[in-house]
Amino acid sequence: MLCLEKKLSRLINSTTGERGVLRFLAKHPKIVYWAFYQPAGHGTYVVKEFPFGSHYKADFVVPMAYSGIWEVHMIELEPPNDRVINKDGTPSHRFNKAVSQIHDWASYVAENLYSFRKDLSDWCMKHDLLGLPGSSGPPCNFTGNYLKDSDMHIWFYYYIVIGRRELIKEEQRRKMNQIMHGNHNLKVYTYGRLLDVAKNLDKREANPKDPVRLEDTEEDA
């Protein structure tokens, strides 16, 4: 039987779009969880294709709680075979479009926070993929703060997953970092990050005593 890493790698190498990868990740939500994991978080959910506003939809959303605060991680998948940075150092059309979409998401959330958090809370109860203990009711942290509470503070983080790590040269990576630093709370990852996490999960499955940290990835090196 193929392992998670090999299955995902084969899919990434054979696809021309992101939909097949999205479906695979929905069947294996732990890859999404650990790829966007924050230490000390609890009350975590993974949902896919969360609709908000009249025409927005996030491929994945990962809400997670701390004592007295929530984090919401919103993820946009772009095709694995798309170029991130052009040869002349400018962002590709697809990448520019994704960055623009993230700006639209952030603007909508800021202007419609109450309805957004209520809709996300309802979506988590109905469509959570992770199924951690205690996740059946309304999303709530250990101190009794509900995700939908209007006075609950939330930090938002936005991600674009695009391209293959092995095809990005050092200068292109530098350009990507410049774009991230110029856009508040935006991070750009390649599909290599998801492959790293899949590999870590395979190691843990093969040997539960393996001290591998599931969230470790070369993208953070």
Instruction: Identify whether the C-beta of residue 91 lies closer than 8 Å to the C-beta of residue 180.
Output: no
pTM of this prediction?
0.92
Convert 97-112 to b/e letters by CB count within 10 Å (16 or more is b): ebbebbeebbebbeee
Tens of pLDDT, residue by residue over 86-125, are 888 888 999 999 999 999 999 999 999 999 999 999 999 9
Q: Is 69 left (phi over 0), alpha (psi -120 to 50) or beta?
A: beta
pLDDT of residue 97: 94
User: Alpha-carbon distance 94 to 160, whole Å?
Assistant: 11
User: Alpha-carbon distance 121 to 117, whole Å?
Assistant: 6
Burial class (CB in 10 A: 0-12, 13-18, 19+), 154: middle
| Regions of the chain with pLDDT less than 70 | 1-2, 39-41, 134, 182, 184, 220-221
pLDDT of residue 184: 67
Q: Tell me: domain 4-220, CATH 3.40.91, correct?
A: yes
Q: Would you state the torsion angle of the CA atoms of residues 62, 70, 57, 29, taken in this order, to the nearest 10 degrees?
A: 10
pLDDT of residue 160: 95
The structure tokens listed for 53 are 């506003």
- 47 CB contacts (<8 Å, ≥6 apart)? 60, 61, 120, 123, 124, 127, 128, 129
pLDDT of residue 22: 96
DSSP string computed for 27-59: H-HHHHHHHT--TT-BS---EEEEEETTTEEEE
Which SS3 state, helix, strand or coil, does residue 168 take?
coil
pLDDT of residue 182: 67
How many Å separate Cα 87 from the centre of its chain? 27
pLDDT of residue 178: 78
